[in-house]
Chain A
């Protein structure tokens, strides 16, 4: 009987709480009292899933590829427009120069044909 009582006493004896126990309990209760923090925690945990990480990386790569393609197409269009404008400038200068020189030559010819007046 005595040994039983001794075992019971030993089992139910007062024991000091481990160090930091109170802080841990308080932190837990604080976390439980803020549902937003819990949601964020869950969201964080959701994002931490490896499948999602791969999916996010794939989406990022796709976006980069699309952005690159759009940029390339825009540059190509700009280059084509620039080349076309350059060709038009050349053509315009050609016509303008030819017509200008035709007029000059005609004036020169007229001056050559007209003898200088002797005063």
Chain B
């Protein structure tokens, strides 16, 4: 009696093909990942005078969340509790021109449609500053899957990549809390100052 008669032979190449297809379609929005590859900017760190490098994956975020028990941490905890990763690169330089536009373009190139959409792009030609905010949403346009912020200044480059359902309003509302400067107040003060300056000029 031949025991192997009843077996079904499956071609290993077919299994590999199936696994590849499954892998490709299991990622959000067919291939594009809310986690950016920002390793290229790590090379800039050598030229920077100050570097902030935060790499928090899901496990570390969960661990951090366990220690965010203080009252001041409550709002931060609300934001991070469902996130899958936070990656921040912030470089400060002593002089302008220490990083190239190609470095920024390498990140910008990953933030392509249809998965990513640029929701804010603010450029200040006078200050040579560019800030862009990108969002990755689910194919149905509902849930936010990730966020990216690129802030390029002559002497500073910041890349923020948040993976998971981030609430932008909650993140923005942290202003004035947790040691975050109150930009509205600063802006108002600077506006008042500039208005006063304009009035004086008049």
Contact = CB atoms under 8 A, between A and B. Distances in A.
Contacts of A95: 52, 54, 88, 90, 158, 160
Chain B contact residues (Cβ within 8 angstroms of A): what range? Answer: 35 or more
A97 B131 contact: no
Interface stretch (A1-9, A68-76, A100-108): A100-108
Interface stretch (A30-38, A53-61, A83-91): A83-91
Nearest to B168: A100
Contacts of A102: 122, 131, 151, 183
A92 interface: yes
Contacts, number: 113
23 contacts: A89-B65, A89-B80, A90-B178, A92-B56, A93-B79, A93-B180, A94-B174, A95-B54, A95-B88, A95-B90, A95-B160, A96-B171, A97-B174, A98-B183, A99-B160, A100-B149, A100-B168, A101-B172, A101-B184, A103-B120, A103-B122, A103-B149, A103-B151
Interface of A: 78-79, 81-83, 85-86, 88-107, 109-110
